Amino acid sequence: MIERQEMAARIDIEETIEVGEALVLTSESPTSSYAVVFEDDEDTGYFYAVSMVDSDFRILDAMHIYNVKNVADRNKPSRVTIAWSEDGMKAALLINDYAHAIFNFEEKQGYCRTNFPTPGTGWKGHEWSDEALALFD
């Protein structure tokens, strides 16, 4: 298991949620006009890369995190953490201290456990790699 303490990151959001209850968590980069959004729409969980230039909220890429019906322990509270790298160009989504997704805004690269869906225009991919955690060293 990849745990939070293995990542050198600035934690921006840490919240206890109930999987399957509608929720939107937005976290802005400390150094750039980028942001990430975690959304549970009661059916699925998604993590979005967002541009916030000139107050324009534009989704750049999206990664599927879970289908609510497939989460084995969905009846237990879960802790969602969103963290940023020191340079504010990489963001990670952890659930119960386990890394589920990472956006690298510099490289326009996403990493997620489900490797779904197809990346947004100009983005390279979503295939998970444990090496992505090194982005937070």
Closest by Cα among 86, 84, 88, 133 to 113: 133
Count Cα neighbours of 93 within 13 Å in the Cβ-side half-sphere.
28
Q: How many domains does the chain have?
A: 1
Dihedral sign, Cα of residue 38, residue 102, residue 86, residue 96: positive
Query: Please, which pLDDT band fits residue 9 given cuts at 50, 70 and 90?
Result: confident
pLDDT tens, position by position, 47-78 = 999 999 877 889 999 999 999 999 999 999 99
pLDDT tens, position by position, 11-46 = 999 999 999 999 999 999 999 999 999 999 999 999
Residue 133 Cα distances to 33, 39, 74, 118, angstroms: 22, 22, 26, 21
* Portion of the chain with pLDDT greater than 70, in percent: 94
Structural domain boundaries enclosing 62: 4-136
